[in-house]
Amino acid sequence: MSEKRKGETPTMSAELVVQGGAPSVGSPTSAITKIEAPKPKKKTESALKSFISGGVGGVCVVLTGHPLDLIKVKMQVGGASGSVFGMLSNTFRTEGIRGLYRGVSAPLVAVTPIFALSFWGFDMGKRVVSWYEETVNGKTMDGNYTIPQIAVAGGLSGIPTSLVMAPSERVKCLLQVQDAAGSGGKVKYTGMMDCAQQLYRQGGMRSLYKGLGATFLRDVPGSLAWFLTYEVAKKELMRIQGVDSSQLSPVAVMTAGGIAGMACWGVSIPPDVIKSRWQTAPDGQYKGLIDVYRKLVAAEGHGALISGMRPALIRAFPANAACFMGMELSRKALAFMD
């Protein structure tokens, strides 16, 4: 039965022996039916695993990067100037470690769902891309995505995160700049919950979500750049090291993550400046985001749109290196969930 008919091309990848008697002479196919083995699909990662590992990465990014985020917001809103490290040293001398982590409670409390949603959203974005390719274009996806497909999935991940991020960013920015706003030593907000409660009493959910549109403008393109850069950098480092994703060295993972963070903030800083101004401004100061942009450029020039770029980029590399390292380690630890 192993003998092929003359001229037959062995294209089939599997053989199935049919039970029920010996084959008749001249009819070898009555005994053997050849079937095409289906192309194996790459196993889909658990959505819950993406959610949990993203949360771990988020905690890492906040604890690593918050002091520099504090300086960024002060430069964007409070008019602070000087070198980044000089401002960090001055804050530490005058306020200690608590001063460097002022306002950290808001992003730390929200960071688990935000980053969890980000990585979950990226996973869901890839599933949407796979569904579209298989349903509309009739292609079979094997888990290898093109650059445009990764970009689409990354952009989609910014939508759910913005919905959670907007009120957290509003509270964080107000807490970070209240001393710089000339309060005469008396702070307006005693903490995260007090700030959120005051905002809600003043204007309800609308007040808490002030800046949602600006958050979308920042996070959708930022997420696109973040995930796209990480995936491209990681694949290039895998090629250089001659290994697959699971064998990539920690240094390579952190390098890809750091580069991705810098790419993200390079795209995100201009809308982040507008968001910070809008979210910390008293009611009535601006008519909307376009008004913020016009008044900002008229008063301070286009250079104001990249204020805070230095601390953001300095923060971006270590913070996002820690984020992706924490995410990748937790993914390996949660491999049993796939």
Q: How far separated are the first and last CA of the chain, in Å rounded?
A: 41
Confidence of residue 8 (pLDDT cuts 50, 70, 90): very low
> Is domain 46-337 given the CATH code 3.40.605.10 in the classification?
no
pLDDT of residue 43: 56
What span, in angstroms and rounded, lies between the C-alpha atoms of 121 and 150?
12
Output Rg (C-alpha) for the chain, integer angstroms.
27
Q: Tokens in use for 306?
A: 């990249």
Q: Tokens in use for 249?
A: 């060295």
Percentage of the residues of the chain whose pLDDT score is greater than 90: 46
Q: Tokens in use for 155?
A: 């952009």
- pTM reported for the whole predicted model: 0.72
One-letter identity of residue 198 = Q
With contact defined as beta carbons under 8 Å apart, do 29 and 303 qualify?
no
Residue 10 has pLDDT above 80, yes or no: no
> For residue 171, what are the contacts with CB-CB under 8 A and spacing of at least 6?
106, 192, 195, 196, 199, 208
pLDDT of residue 225: 97
pLDDT of residue 215: 93
Instruction: Name the residue ranges covered by the structural domains of the chain.
Output: 1-38, 46-337
Residue 243 has pLDDT above 60, yes or no: yes
What span, in angstroms and rounded, lies between the C-alpha atoms of 172 and 77?
13
Paired residues of 16 in beta bridges: 33
> For residue 102, what are the contacts with CB-CB under 8 A and spacing of at least 6?
70, 95, 175, 176
Residue 183 has pLDDT above 80, yes or no: no
Percentage of the residues of the chain whose pLDDT score is greater than 70: 82
Residue 21 has pLDDT above 70, yes or no: no
pLDDT of residue 188: 86
Please compute, for residue 196, the number of CA atoms within 13 A of its CA located in the half-sphere on the CB side: 14
pLDDT digits (tens, 9 = 90+) for 25-82: 444 444 444 444 444 455 566 788 889 999 999 989 888 888 877 777 777 765 566 6
pLDDT of residue 237: 96
Q: What are phi and psi of 136, to 5 degrees?
A: -90, -45
pLDDT digits (tens, 9 = 90+) for 95-129: 888 788 887 887 787 777 888 999 999 999 999 99
Confidence of residue 19 (pLDDT cuts 50, 70, 90): very low
What span, in angstroms and rounded, lies between the C-alpha atoms of 306 and 254?
26
